[in-house]
Structures are given as C-alpha cells and as structure tokens.
C-alpha cells in the first residue's frame, strides 16, 4: 500500500501550473518523479536510507558517495581478514577509510579550527537529528554529524570570518536546501538564531519540511500549504523556519542578510539560476554564499540521461552578480577536490554599497 502525503500532492499539483523556470530542470526531471515514488512506497520516515535520496540530495562520505559498493567493501574486508588475520591496525584503518569516517573527521577538524565560537551564529551547539533513519552519521566530541551538515558548517565558518564584530545575521534564504540541514544548524545556534527560509521544488521541499518538523518541532516551521494563497509573504512575519516552494520567491517581501546555495545551482540551467539571483538581488541580500563545481556539472547526452543542458561554471557567477563583489573563492580548506580532478569551490560575495 502506497503512502499518501496530501501536502506533497498539493505542491506537485501547484508546480504543474508554474512557469518553466520553477519546474524540474533536465538534471532533475526524471529523478524527481522517481524520488516521489520511492517516498510513497517506502515512507518518508526512512528517506535517509533510501537509494534514490542517497544518490541525489542526501550526500554521504561512504557508500554510495565514495563510489565503493557495500559488496566491494565487504569483499575487501574479507580478503584482508583472510590474508592478514592478525593485522588489526590495518583492518581498522581500512574500515576507517571505507566507512567515510576518515573524510568526515577531516571536515570536522576544519570546522573546529575555523569556527569562532564567540561569534554568532554559534555552530558548536549543533548536533544532528536522527530523523529519517540515516545510514551514515558520525559522532565527534559527543555530537552527531552527516556529510550534509559538515558541508554547511564549513561554509558558515568561512562566512563568519568576514562578518564584523557587531554584524548580526537575522535572515538566511536558501534555494535547493536538500533535506534541511542548514535550517537545523541555524535553529540550534542559540536564542538569537537567524530566521531560515528554504525554497525548493517538490518532492525535496516536502522532505525538508518533514525533516525540520521532526528536528525542531512543527510549531517552528511555516509550510507551502499554509502560505500558497498569499500574494505577498512578509519575511519578518514568518516563523523561525519556512520551507516553501521555489516559485514563492516571487511573493517574498523584505530583506535577506545571507543567501546560500550549495550544489543545486550547478544542477540547473543558466537561465533558471539567473532568475533566482534576480530575486535574491531584489531582496537586497547582503551576502551570497555559493558552493559550485568550478568545471560545471556533466552535460546531458544520448548516453547519459542525468545531466545539464549547459553547465554553470564558477566564473559565470562573476557575470550574474554585477552588483556584488567577490570576497573569497577557493577549494581548500572549505571545499573539496574530487579524486578525478573536479573542484567543488566555495564563493562568497558581498553586496556593493
């Protein structure tokens, strides 16, 4: 029996009536419908252990993110136990690598070294929820982390280095926020935590809504269903967290302190990204924090159904943000260089005064 989610159905129906720029792009067109079916068949309560979410918006350090299948990992460990049964340290080292803990610990060390614990938002309060039954979660210093959370924590630590001593972040807007990690991090940052708004297309916005309701409580989360009738959405009247649909960016009124996009822009077409950035600028956003593949995402071909029509390159943002100044751009220590030579870089822009 399939699980029925009325709010997901409502969002999908509303999306069908929207402009093409708010529909799934070529990269997400097939994936979106498959993820919907996965959630309906297996239930949203275990989305962090389902193959399709793990392949698209629930990143991991170990399987499947590492490229090592469970079968291959098992065979490697079995071979080592057979060939070197007394090599305890070797086996522990291999397991440390294959599980993803080695890479997770490396990112955690960056966060600890970079974060100013005396400056808000206070990232050192965060410990991730277990909602969604994650297949991968690491504990360091008594707190839980996923790859998604550590990605955001590194980016926020970088941003904080550029905030003045008296500068406060009151509102953060994100487009394509995965399952809601950034909202959870910000909510846990203290009594003066910033308001967080996540805009996305279904089904991922519905997943993020559900996850954040479990992680922080339903009372703190404004939804698409509760706001879809509004022609204007006042930012300063929203609850601490709002998970809305992508097209509702046109209804937002007010100002944003920080706009964040991690990875999802690289999965869109340039015209779609340009439209979103137009609205980001309209909201007088002060800071823009991006994570993007410098070389762009793979292109869609007859042989590869998953891909973009035209990649977004790192340099494209320099032209798309004429009223902003690039403050910082690099791969290390906050970004990532893949083993096959691609550069997941962070870029921070500030609005020109």
8 Å CB contact between 253 and 284: no
Contacts of residue 47, Cβ cutoff 8 Å, sequence gap at least 6: 38, 39, 53, 58, 132, 133, 179, 207, 211
How far apart (Å, rounded) are the C-alpha atoms in residues 161 and 179? 26
pLDDT tens for residues 42-92?
A: 999 999 999 999 999 999 999 999 988 989 988 988 998 888 988 899 989
Is pLDDT above 90 for 26? no
Q: Domain spans of the chain?
A: 100-351
* Predicted structure pTM score: 0.95
Query: Per this entry, what is the length of the chain?
Result: 353
Structure tokens belonging to residue 266: 């690289």
188-208: pLDDT as tens digits: 998 899 999 999 999 999 999
Q: What is the pLDDT of residues 119-129, one digit of tens each?
A: 999 999 999 99
Q: What is the mean pLDDT of residues 28-53?
A: 94
**In the chain, what percentage of residues exceed pLDDT 70?**
100
The span from the CA of 312 to the CA of 308, in Å, is: 9
The CATH superfamily of 100-351 is Vaccinia Virus protein VP39 (3.40.50.150)
pLDDT at 80: 86
Chain centroid to Cα 280, Å, comes to: 18
User: Which pLDDT does position 157 carry in this prediction?
Assistant: 97
pLDDT tens readout for residues 137-192 = 999 999 999 999 999 999 999 999 999 989 999 999 999 999 999 999 999 998 89
């Amino acid at each position: 029996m399939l699980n029925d989610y009325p709010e997901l159905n409502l969002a999908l129906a509303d999306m069908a009536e929207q402009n093409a720029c708010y529909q799934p792009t070529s990269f997400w067109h097939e994936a979106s419908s498959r993820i919907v079916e996965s959630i309906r068949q297996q239930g949203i309560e275990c989305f962090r252990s389902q193959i399709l979410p793990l392949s698209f918006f629930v990143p991991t350090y170990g399987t499947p993110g590492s490229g090592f299948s469970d079968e291959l990992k098992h065979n490697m460990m079995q071979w080592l136990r057979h060939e070197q049964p007394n090599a305890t340290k070797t086996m522990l080292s291999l397991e440390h690598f294959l599980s993803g803990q080695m890479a997770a610990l490396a990112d955690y060390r960056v966060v600890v070294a970079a974060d100013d614990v005396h400056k808000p938002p206070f990232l050192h309060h965060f410990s991730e929820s277990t909602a969604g039954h994650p297949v991968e979660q690491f504990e360091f210093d008594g707190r839980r982390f996923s790859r998604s959370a550590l990605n955001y924590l590194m980016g926020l630590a970088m941003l904080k280095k550029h905030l003045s001593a008296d500068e406060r972040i009151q509102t953060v807007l994100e487009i394509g926020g995965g399952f809601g990690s950034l909202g959870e991090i910000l909510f846990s940052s203290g009594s003066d935590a910033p308001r967080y708004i996540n805009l996305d297309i279904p089904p991922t916005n519905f997943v993020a809504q559900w996850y954040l309701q479990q992680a922080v409580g339903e009372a703190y989360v404004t939804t698409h269903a509760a706001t879809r009738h509004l022609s204007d959405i006042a930012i300063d009247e929203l609850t601490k967290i709002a998970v809305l649909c992508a097209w509702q960016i046109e209804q937002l009124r007010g100002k944003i302190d920080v706009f964040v996009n991690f990875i999802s822009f690289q999965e869109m077409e340039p015209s779609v990204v340009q439209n979103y950035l137009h609205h980001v600028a309209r909201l007088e956003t002060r800071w823009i924090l991006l994570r993007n593949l410098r070389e762009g995402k793979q292109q869609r071909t007859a042989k590869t159904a998953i891909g973009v029509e035209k990649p977004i390159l790192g340099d494209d943002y320099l032209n798309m943000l004429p009223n902003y100044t690039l403050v910082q751009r690099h791969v290390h220590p906050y970004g990532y260089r893949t083993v096959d030579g691609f550069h997941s870089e962070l870029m921070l822009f500030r609005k020109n005064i």
